Amino acid sequence: MRKQVVNNTYTDHILDQVEKEKDLGVTVDCNLSFEHHLMEKVSKVNQMMGLIRRSFVYLDTENFTRLYKAIVRPHLEYANSVWMPRRKNDIITLGNVQRRATKLVPGLRDLNDPDRRKQLNLPTLVYRCLRGDMIEMFKMVSAAYDEQVMPVIVTSEEDFYQTRGHSYKLPRNHNKTRLSQHYFRERIACS
């Protein structure tokens, strides 16, 4: 469904309003729920798991772990700082993907999920998402990115000096809208 929307009063350029748009491999919808993106990723991972299942007759733990980390997990973790799941259903869906994948190893099928992950040395996907957020934040704080394209993390110098301990603590935004609680900056400040 496309609607014509006038951009602003300064120009006569007309923009199309769309329900979802794919940019740099991430599908963004008008609600910022990333539900469609998640379903695309789950579908792609299921295809990859089918490929592994059809291509390998026997998988031991070492081979499966290598294949999973090289072929499957990158699809689930790409740009997770942008689309990290926040709803319980989305988190459960991602967990189910990894749960089904770990059942491909013949000797581990009868174990429960935490034991399978422990045998394969695989953390949960939620942990991996939080880890990715921390890595991104470290890169931002240590000036690994160009300052002109990096988002503003500390809004003012006054906020910067209100933190105790060290200068890497982030002040929390007190704007408690439901959507803004899940922004990258708010997730990092809470972690």
- Residues 163-183 pLDDT 10s: 556 566 665 666 666 666 666
Same domain, 61 and 108: yes
DSSP track, 50-66: HHHHHH-S---HHHHHH
Domain closes at, from 106, 124, 142:
124
Tokens of 185: 């900056």
Residues 90 and 159 in one domain: no
- Same structural domain, 47 and 105: yes
Query: Which is it for strands 20-23 and 14-17: parallel, antiparallel or unpaired?
Result: unpaired
Question: Which range is most confident: 14-18, 102-106, 133-137, 142-146?
Answer: 102-106
pTM of the model: 0.71
| Pair (111, 179) in one structural domain | no
Tokens of 93: 């869906």
Percent of the chain with pLDDT over 70: 72
17 within some domain: no
- The total domain count for the chain is 2
Considering only CA atoms, which of 76, 54, 56, 184 is closest in space to residue 122?
A: 76
pLDDT at 115: 92
Contacts of 191 (CB under 8 A, 6+ apart): 130, 133, 134
The boundaries of the domain holding residue 140 are 133-190
Shared-domain flag, residues 79 and 109: yes
In a domain, 14, yes or no: no
* Cα–Cα distance, 124 to 108 (Å, whole number): 17
Q: 75 in a domain, yes or no? A: yes
